[in-house]
Every structure is written in structure tokens, then in C-alpha cells.
């Protein structure tokens, strides 16, 4: 992509060379140190963003608190109308925003556009939901009494997101939080800060046009220390954090200490089980896309293939052939399959993981390696690798955010494969490739996959927004996006109303005066 074209993209999104990185609505300000955003695509500096100081953070919280007072009493379907307008703006700006995601984060343009599509989809979902924030009604044990429950807005939702989905994960949270009547403060990843400025510019315009208070959408920028402003802050009842398990444990503990709520969406160690009844072609497409898509930097990326011994050589040979066809290079060039890793630290982690896998006894069947030379000047491009390994290796038990796929073998029935699949600390996404009903149902049963996501005949990545997204164990237990995930953004209240002139007590207790 020519630099001229990226200039045009930045202009359409109102991104400047130096951006103020703290914002309440349309009002940007900032005095903190600068973060420089370099593109992993070509290593060039795209722009700078100021980080948020403690004083600026205080201003953000005050503005958000003021905005909440207006927003919480606006009828939910009217809040939905604002989210509808935001979704329409995203439709208009899908191309430039997708390009910025691709250029700043390094995923393929197709995936960058796909990410914006997820934002549009969650907006549509939230608009419908804004008329469906249902509670239950119950029959009271006391005559002339009625019981029901309501869901009320929580307040300020703090969102901490990761570099790999620099816009979509924010929208999964905000679109729902907004229709629920909450206001949001977003700390984006310091590895993709310009994406947060672009999103804020879009929503700020919508809010301004509707004469709504600034502070419904706020952003703060910086590293984990800026995140800590929020995690330690009692004025923020819910923190939704996406990122590594290491980060999640710290956030969970800090928020837990003040008895706040946290929604954690952390690491995965996702596997596809390939049984003797698997369709080979579907298996290869699912596994290769899962392992190398987004250069292996999705939480749902396929890390392990657990293959029945009778299929092992067939699958292995087909994978090696498929990997030979992979084109690695500039993600904005649509003929490439694999773009760069986010930065050179990620490249080091990739190299260390491969080295460790071999040291533990692994056998590299697709070599991998760092690319250099023309087109690879950023130093962030690596070749996807495949290693024959065993599940108990320390490195296999660990999530490495890179395109490394481990091949594991199983013998006997599907229960043995399920045991291997579950035998890791994480529990996000899982899949089985089979045409055998018994195997598929065993995989989905109470004794089957222990993950938040379990798929049959599709891979581990590429979840739709309609389902609840998240996982168990060290993945953190949170659920975002579809189904009833909205409930975490609200507080539940049980109401009992007495419409008689008597005051009977519950449980038949008598208290006469
Ligand atoms: C993530 O990697 O944090 O299932 C989210 C998927 C995407 C979301 C991934 N829809 O791959």
C-alpha cells in the first residue's frame, strides 16, 4: 500500500500526526507523555498519542458520572437509536477503519474489514436488545402481593482491550453497555492507540449530533498504569478486560479486593480434535485458517491439533502441503494470507517458543523462521510453523501469540482425545472434526469439552457475535457479546409490591402489635 493511500485513510478518520489521547466525547485533551504507534506492516511511524495523566483521568470520571445521570433515564429504545446511528456511521467508514486496523495491527485487510463488520453486527444486535432488557415476574407466597425483577444501569463501565482486536472488542462491550444505560471509559492497547482515536471520533460525532452529553464515551490511553486508575477506582462498578491470563489475574484480584465486578476474557489454548471420521478437506481449511489467520494472534487461534493415529500421516502431509502455499507479506495486499506479528517482542516470543518446543523433544515439520529483506523491513514477519509435540510439554501448555501449531496424536476412542483437549489450564475455544454423531455428541456432552466455545465441523476461531463469547478456567469465565451477556452490564433488583391493607410477613411469621 502506498503511503499516500494511508494518508487518505487517516484523514477520513480524522487522525492527526500527534493526537491527544484522552477524551470525553468530542473533547480531546492530553498532557501526558507520547506513545508512538509504528506499523508492523512497514515499520513506519503512523502517529503519536498522548497518554492520560491522573489529573486528566479525574476529569474523565467526573464527565462520565455527569453523563450517566442523563443517559440512564433516557428510555432504552432511544439509547438503541443512538447505537443504530453509530452502526450506520461504521457502515460508511468500514473501508478506512478496516484499513487502519490492518495497518496499525497487521492483520489482513479482509480480517480488518471483518472486524469492523463485527462492530456493525453487534450494533444491530444491541439495537434489537434495547427493547428486550427483560426481567422475570414471580408469584408471591403472600396474598395480594406481586414480585418481579428489573435490570437497571450499573454506571461507568471500564473497558481494557488488547491489540489483536483493536476495535471490535471495545464495541462488543460498549454497544451493550450503552443500550443498558451505562457510560464507558475505554483504555485501548498501547500497541494500537490510533484505532481508539478513530472509534472515538466516530461515536463523538454521533453524540454531538444528537445533543447528548459528552462522557457517554470516553477514552484514556497509556500502559497498565493507566489501566490501574480504573481497576482500583470504586466509582467504576464493572471492569471488562480482554488480554493475557497474567493481566487478568492482576485485574481480577484488584477489582475483587474492592468487590467490584469484572468480566475477564483471557488466553486460550484451543484445539481441534480430528477423528477417523473427519472430512479431510474441511479439517485442513479449518486448521490452517485457525492457526495462521491473524498470524496466530487471536485468543481463539488454533494452537493444537489432536489427531487420531489412523489419520495422523494423512493430516500431517496435507498440512505440510497447505503451508507451502501460504503467502506471507503486506496484509493490505489481498493476495497474502499471513501478515506480520504485532512487534519485534512478539517475534522473540515466537522464536523462544519454537526453540523451547524442540528442546522439550518436539519435531519441527514446518520449520518457521523470521523473514527479512524486501517487504519485511519491519522485522515482524515470521513463517508459520508446525511442530510434532506432546500435550504435557510446558510450551504446549502455554499460549504463545504466534502462528505455531502443535500436532498431537491420540489412540482409541474420542474420550481419549477429549481428555487431552481438556488437559490445559485454559478453556476458551475447541472443535471436533467428525461425521460421527456419537463422537460429536460425546464432545458436546457434560463429559465433553470444558471450553466456553465448542464447535463441530468448524474450526476454533471466527465466532459470531450472536453467541456469548468467552471461556472457562484461566480464560477467566466472562461472557461478552451475544445471548444474555448484556446482564453483566446491569444491576438486578427484585421488587415486591403489596396491594392490600394488611402486612403479612413472608415464611408465615406472625408479628402482632
Ligand atoms: C479475540 O481474539 O480476542 O472468534 C476475539 C474469533 C473472533 C473474536 C476473537 N470473532 O476469532
CATH number of 270-469: 3.40.309.10
Q: Class of 4-266+479-493 per CATH?
A: alpha beta
Which residue puts its alpha carbon closest to atom 6 of ligand 1?
462
CA 241 / ligand 1 centre spacing (Å): 14
- Identify the CA nearest to 216 among candidates 23, 429, 47, 352: 23
The answer to whether the CB of 251 falls within 8 A of the CB of 241 is yes
ipTM of the complex: 0.96
Contact, 382 vs 291, CB < 8 A?
Answer: no
Q: What separation in Å is there between the alpha carbon of 413 and the centre of ligand 1?
A: 30
* For ligand 1, mutation pick of 463, 464, 479, 482 (most atoms within 8 Å of CB): 463
CA distances from 64 to 61, 199, 478 (A): 5, 17, 24
Domain range summary for the chain, segments of one domain joined by + = 4-266+479-493, 270-469
Q: How far apart are CA 504 and CA 498, in angstroms?
A: 9
What is the rounded distance in angstroms from the CA atom of residue 342 to the CA atom of residue 156? 30
pTM of the predicted protein model: 0.97
Span from the CA of 295 to the centroid of ligand 1 (angstroms): 13
| pLDDT tens-place values along the chain, 513 residues long | 445 588 999 999 999 999 999 999 888 999 999 999 999 999 999 999 999 999 999 999 999 999 999 999 999 999 999 999 999 999 999 999 999 999 999 999 999 999 999 999 999 999 999 999 999 999 999 999 999 999 999 999 999 999 999 999 999 999 999 999 999 999 999 999 999 999 999 999 999 999 999 999 999 999 999 999 999 999 999 999 999 999 999 999 999 999 999 999 999 999 999 999 999 999 999 999 999 999 999 999 999 999 999 999 999 999 999 999 999 999 999 999 999 999 999 999 999 999 999 999 999 999 999 999 999 999 999 999 999 999 999 999 999 999 999 999 999 999 999 999 999 999 999 999 999 999 999 999 999 999 999 999 999 999 999 999 999 999 999 999 999 999 999 999 999 999 999 998 999 999 988
- Atom index in ligand 1 nearest the CA of residue 465 equals 10
For residue 211, give every residue at least 6 positions away whose Cβ sits within 8 Å of its Cβ, in sequence order, or none: none
How many angstroms separate the alpha carbon of residue 466 from the centre of ligand 1? 13
Spatial separation of the C-alpha atoms in residues 169 and 481, rounded to whole Å: 9
C-alpha of residue 300 to centroid of ligand 1, in Å? 6
Choose the residue to mutate in 159, 165, 243 for probing ligand 1, maximizing ligand atoms within 8 Å of C-beta. Answer: 165
Which residues are part of the catalytic machinery?
265
Residue of 160, 460, 469 best suited for mutating to test ligand 1, as the one with most atoms within 8 Å of CB: 469
CA distances from 51 to 29, 197, 334, 341 (A): 10, 12, 34, 24
Give the atom of ligand 1 at the shortest distance from the alpha carbon of 453: 4
Between strands 302-308 and 270-274, the pairing is: parallel
d(CA 50, CA 221): 7
Nearest CA to ligand 1 atom 1: 299
- Please give the distance of CA 366 from its chain centroid, rounded to a whole number: 29
Pocket of ligand 1 (CB under 6 A): 164-165, 169, 242, 298-300, 461-463
Other CB atoms within 10 Å distance of the CB of residue 45: 10
Amino acid at each position: 500500500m502506498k503511503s499516500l493511500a494511508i494518508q487518505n485513510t487517516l484523514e477520513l478518520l480524522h487522525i492527526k500526526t500527534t493526537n491527544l489521547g484522552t477524551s470525553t466525547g468530542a473533547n480531546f485533551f492530553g498532557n501526558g507523555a507520547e506513545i508512538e504507534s509504528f506499523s508492523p506492516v512497514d515499520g513506519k511511524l503512523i502517529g503519536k498519542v498522548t497518554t492520560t495523566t491522573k489529573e486528566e483521568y479525574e476529569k474523565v470520571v467526573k464527565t462520565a458520572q455527569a453523563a450517566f445521570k442523563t443517559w440512564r433515564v433516557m428510555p432504552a429504545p432511544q439509547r438503541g437509536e443512538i447505537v443504530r446511528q453509530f452502526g450506520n456511521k461504521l457502515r460508511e467508514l468500514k473501508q478506512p477503519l478496516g484499513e487502519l486496523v490492518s495497518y496499525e495491527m497487521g492483520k489482513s485487510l479482509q480480517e480488518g474489514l471483518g472486524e469492523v463488520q463485527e462492530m456493525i453486527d453487534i450494533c444491530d444486535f444491541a439495537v434489537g436488545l434495547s427493547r428486550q432488557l427483560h426481567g422475570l415476574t414471580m408469584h408471591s407466597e403472600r396474598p395480594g402481593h406481586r414480585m418481579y425483577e428489573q435490570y437497571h444501569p450499573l454506571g461507568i463501565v471500564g473497558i481494557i482491550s488488547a491489540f489483536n482486536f483493536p476495535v471490535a472488542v471495545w464495541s462488543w462491550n460498549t454497544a451493550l453497555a450503552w443500550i443498558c444505560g451505562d457510560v464507558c471509559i475505554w483504555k485501548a492497547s498501547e500497541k494500537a492507540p490510533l484505532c481508539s482515536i478513530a472509534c472515538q471520533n466516530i461515536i463523538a460525532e454521533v453524540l454531538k449530533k444528537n445533543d447528548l452529553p459528552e462522557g457517554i464515551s470516553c477514552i484514556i490511553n497509556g500502559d497498565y498504569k493507566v489501566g490501574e486508575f480504573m481497576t482500583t477506582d470504586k466509582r467504576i462498578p464493572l471492569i471488562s478486560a480482554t488480554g493475557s491470563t497474567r493481566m487478568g489475574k492482576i485485574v481480577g484480584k484488584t477489582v475483587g479486593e474492592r468487590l467490584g465486578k469484572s468480566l475477564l476474557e483471557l488466553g486460550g489454548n484451543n484445539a481441534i480434535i480430528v477423528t477417523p471420521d473427519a472430512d479431510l478437506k474441511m479439517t485442513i481449511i479449518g486448521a490452517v485458517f485457525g492457526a495462521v489467520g491473524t498470524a496466530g494472534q487471536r485468543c481463539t487461534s488454533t494452537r493444537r491439533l489432536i489427531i487420531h493415529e489412523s489419520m495422523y500421516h494423512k493430516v500431517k502431509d496435507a498440512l505440510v502441503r497447505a503451508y507451502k502455499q501460504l503467502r506471507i507479506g503486506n496484509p493490505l495486499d489481498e493476495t497474502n494470507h499471513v501478515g506480520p506479528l504485532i512487534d519485534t517482542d512478539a517475534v522473540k516470543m515466537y522464536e523462544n517458543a519454537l526453540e523451547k518446543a524442540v528442546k522439550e523433544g518436539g519435531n519441527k515439520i514446518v520449520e518457521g523462521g523470521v523473514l527479512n529483506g524486501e517487504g519485511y523491513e519491519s522485522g515482524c514477519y515470521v513463517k508459520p510453523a508446525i511442530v510434532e509435540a506432546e500435550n504435557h510439554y510446558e510450551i504446549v501448555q502455554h499460549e504463545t501469540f504466534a502462528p505455531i501449531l502443535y500436532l498431537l496424536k491420540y489412540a482409541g476412542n474420542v474420550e481419549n482425545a477429549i481428555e487431552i483437549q481438556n488437559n490445559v489450564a485454559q478453556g476458551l475455544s475447541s472443535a471436533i472434526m467428525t461425521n460421527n454423531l456419537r463422537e460429536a455428541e460425546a464432545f458436546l456432552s457434560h463429559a465433553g469439552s470444558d471450553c466456553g466455545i465448542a464447535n463441530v465441523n468448524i474450526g476454533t476461531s471466527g465466532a459470531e457475535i450472536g453467541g456469548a463469547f468467552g471461556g472457562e478456567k484461566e480464560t477467566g469465565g466472562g461472557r461478552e457479546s451475544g445471548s444474555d451477556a448484556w446482564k453483566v452490564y446491569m444491576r438486578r433488583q427484585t421488587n415486591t409490591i403489596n396491594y392490600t391493607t394488611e402486612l403479612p410477613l413472608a415464611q408465615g411469621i406472625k408479628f402482632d402489635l
